[in-house]
């Protein structure tokens, strides 16, 4: 895939970039290594002051940076602004909390003194996706830099200007040149970077295939790895739920980033007593969403990021309908006036065979699959009948159902009467084919440190 900014609303190529050569990659890795030798000795206060400046810069430049996001991957402008602002919140959290999160932990043993200290590992490679080009990167960058590591950012090939803008903000905030470097490289060059003796760990957000390949190589080289992969999140609605609120949040969750989010609700599992009304309200709400130019404030649904994503989504819908599913609304490409981009209508489908793509695969686009169940037990069975385990949500006012769902849903996070979202304070990640390890919270900052035990007799 070429490294280029291609406006997904028009399919116009705005700017092309050249891949780094092997020698350029080696030079950047070496700079990261040399910078780490001094950067690891900076204090939490020094790192925190710079990261707080990053937060200020992100908020000050949010409109400019959001426009870059929109032109590269197509999400609505306000959503992009919100994403940049959220990055500032993560920077502030780690800038102020890192010292306590990584403080020396005294542990009583038979030693005269015993404790655990946390030390950075070195250059960390971050392989990041395009769907949240700033947030996905900063939730890895902020804890890694506060822990004293340096970072190499290999971003998705369709968001190079976002990647370069991130590096620009880091440098403008006063971090040394080698603390964070963007590597404009294609996927074929990634293994060579991981294999460098100077790269000490890898964090990846992306597809199952990419995660499997990176994990295999990192494991072979005995390097720590964090993976946040795909999701097919269940959204369970029981009879006691606030139906109006559940429908409103179902629409919001399914259309986050134009439906291109790992933690977007994708499978809507609804009790038979309320299924007809839920589906009608849900379909009406999806159909009413405004599709168009993502730079216009009234637009609620922009284009999919690439033509290949659009074609894959079309294929998933077609195959699911061929297997007997019922189309309630949508189901085809959208053509907003004056735009020749990757638009797809918000879509609701029911009567879905559990061996069809909309049940078995991750669906990246504004397409919702509705499943009707007879009781709570069947709801849990359908919810867990997936190889993914990233997020999940349940909508019910029944405390027993809430507690059972918390225990029984097979996912890295369970949200009760709320949609799945990431928060800097809380661990984020999945189980099963959704990956391993955790970002954010305390796990996010200890993922790439040496938790060194000290015993003094």
The single-letter DSSP state of residue 188 is G
Structure-block tokens of residue 273: 């007593």
Cα–Cα distance for residue pair 195/380, rounded to 1 Å: 42
Phi, psi angle pair for 142, to nearest 5°: -60, -50
Enumerate the β-bridge partners of residue 113: 456
Q: At a CB cut-off of 8 Å and minimum separation 6, what does 383 contact?
A: 234, 236, 267, 269, 392, 409, 410
Helix or strand run (H / E) with residue 414: strand 413-416
Enumerate the β-bridge partners of residue 394: 236, 416
Candidate list 262, 361, 362, 401, residue with the active-site label: 262
Based on the residue annotation, tell me whether 345 is a catalytic residue of this protein: no
The distance of Cα 311 from the centroid of its chain, to the nearest Å, equals 22
Based on the residue annotation, tell me whether 87 is a catalytic residue of this protein: no
The distance of Cα 227 from the centroid of its chain, to the nearest Å, equals 11
Cα–Cα distance for residue pair 388/345, rounded to 1 Å: 25
Query: Quick one: which of 260, 257, 316, 248 has its CA closest to 286?
Result: 248
Candidate list 83, 97, 228, 439, residue with the active-site label: 228
CB-CB contact of 293 with 339 (8 Å): yes
The distance of Cα 175 from the centroid of its chain, to the nearest Å, equals 25
Q: Determine the straight-line distance between the first and last CA of the chain, rounded to whole angstroms.
A: 58
CB-CB contact of 372 with 272 (8 Å): yes
Catalytic residues: 228, 262
């Amino acid at each position: 895939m070429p490294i280029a900014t291609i406006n997904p609303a028009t399919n116009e190529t705005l700017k092309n970039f050249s891949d780094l050569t092997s020698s350029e990659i080696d030079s950047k890795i070496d700079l990261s290594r040399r910078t780490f030798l001094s950067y690891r000795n900076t204090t939490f206060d020094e790192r925190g002051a710079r990261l707080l400046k990053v937060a200020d810069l992100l908020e000050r430049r949010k409109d400019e940076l959001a426009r870059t996001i929109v032109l590269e991957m197509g999400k609505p402008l306000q959503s992009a602004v919100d994403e940049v602002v959220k990055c500032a919140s993560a920077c502030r959290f780690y800038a102020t909390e890192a010292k306590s999160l990584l403080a020396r932990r005294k542990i009583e043993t038979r030693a005269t003194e015993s404790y655990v200290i946390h030390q950075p590992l070195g250059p960390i490679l971050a392989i990041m996706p395009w769907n949240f080009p700033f947030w996905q990167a900063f939730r890895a960058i902020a804890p890694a830099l506060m822990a004293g590591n340096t970072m190499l950012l290999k971003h998705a090939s369709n968001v190079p200007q976002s990647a370069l803008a991130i590096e620009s903000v880091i440098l403008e905030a006063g971090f040394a040149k080698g603390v964070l470097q963007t590597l404009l490289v294609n996927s074929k060059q990634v293994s060579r970077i991981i294999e460098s003796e100077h790269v000490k760990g890898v964090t990846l957000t992306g597809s199952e295939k990419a995660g499997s390949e990176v994990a295999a190589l990192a494991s072979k080289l005995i390097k720590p790895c964090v993976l946040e992969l795909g999701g097919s999140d269940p959204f369970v609605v029981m009879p006691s739920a606030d139906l109006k609120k559940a429908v409103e949040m179902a629409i919001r969750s399914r259309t986050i980033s134009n439906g291109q989010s790992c933690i977007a609700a994708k499978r809507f599992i609804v009790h038979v007593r309320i299924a007809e009304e839920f589906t009608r309200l849900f379909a009406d709400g999806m159909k009413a969403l405004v599709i168009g130019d993502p730079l216009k404030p009234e637009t609620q649904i922009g284009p999919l990021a690439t033509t290949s994503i659009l074609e894959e989504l079309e294929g998933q819908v077609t195959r699911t309908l061929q297997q007997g599913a019922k189309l309630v609304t949508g189901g085809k490409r959208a053509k907003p006036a004056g735009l020749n981009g990757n638009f797809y209508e918000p879509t609701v489908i029911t009567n879905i065979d559990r061996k069809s793509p909309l049940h078995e695969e991750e669906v990246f686009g504004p397409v919702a699959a509705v499943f009707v169940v007879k009781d709570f037990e069947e709801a849990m069975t359908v919810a867990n009948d997936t190889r993914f385990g990233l997020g999940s949500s349940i909508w019910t006012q029944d405390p027993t159902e809430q507690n059972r769902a918390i225990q029984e849903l097979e996912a890295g996070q369970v949200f009760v009467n709320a949609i799945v979202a990431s928060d800097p304070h809380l661990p984020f990640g999945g189980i099963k084919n959704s990956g391993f390890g955790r970002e954010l919270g305390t796990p996010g900052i200890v993922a790439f440190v040496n938790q060194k035990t000290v015993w003094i007799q």
